[in-house]
A = this chain, B = another copy of it.
Amino acid sequence: MAVREKTIGVLGGTGAQGKGLAIRWARAGLKVVIGSRSAERAQQAAEEIAGVAGGDVTGQDNAGAAAAADIVLLALPWDGHAETLTSLRAELAGKIVIDCVNPLGFDKQGPYALPVPEGSAAQQAEQLLPDSRVTAAFHHVSAVTLADLSVDHVDLDVLVLGDDREATDVVRELADVIPGVRGVYGGRLRNAHQVEAFTANLIAVNRRYKAHAGLRITDI
């Protein structure tokens, strides 16, 4: 699968994480469809992204974006994740789906991982989308860094998890199109919880060191 010829749907693409990735994919020449609950807000975000990055960026409601895309990134809020996916089962059938959702809570001591009955957001997606090829990736990206195209080398490895080798290879390619980024296979979907939850640790690092921290995997 030549990933650069595919249409990428970014559900929840009006949020910072989805928007940041959409900017990079649009800049790399991929066709991007932003999804949101509101088609109007999706279209506004698409115009904004196209203004920054150029390229072919359009907006639709989540169902329309899911139907229009070959590969779909779920950049949804954790609150409502299950309901949204349940409603999109048909549109997402047969497609590679990438869950990048980090179920986190915040209190006065900072961030912490929320318990997820299915084990992780990605495993919840897998259960709710039995006709899709569910992977997990792009959890640790810095939205600020992605959105800033003056950063021409994003210093980050994207861990890609999943049980479908071909699907994880495609998602790794989708990471590799962002300059500086490397897609790295990171294990089976049952090991997604700790990758999602690790975002809480990176937020703690960011607060302590005043940084936009990411990960690199050494020795590979």
A residues near B (Cβ < 8 Å) are 109-113, 142, 145, 155-156, 159, 161, 184-188, 190-191, 193-195, 197-198, 200-205, 208-209, 211-220
Contact = CB atoms under 8 A, between A and B. Distances in A.
Nearest to A184: B205
Contacts of A142: 219
Nearest to A155: B218
11 contacts: A112-B191, A113-B191, A142-B219, A145-B219, A185-B204, A191-B197, A191-B200, A193-B197, A194-B198, A213-B218, A215-B216
Contact of A201 (B155, B159, B212): B159
Given A188-B204, A211-B219, A216-B218, 4 more contacts: A111-B191, A186-B201, A191-B200, A212-B219
Contact of A110 (B112, B159, B187): B187
Given A212-B219, A213-B219, A219-B214, A201 B194 contact: yes
Given A194-B200, A195-B201, A201-B195, A188 B110 contact: yes
Contacts of A156: 218
Contacts of A204: 185-188, 191
Contact of A205 (B187, B198, B208, B209): B187
A157 to B, nearest CB: 9
B188 A205 contact: no
Given A194-B198, A220-B213, A109 B188 contact: yes
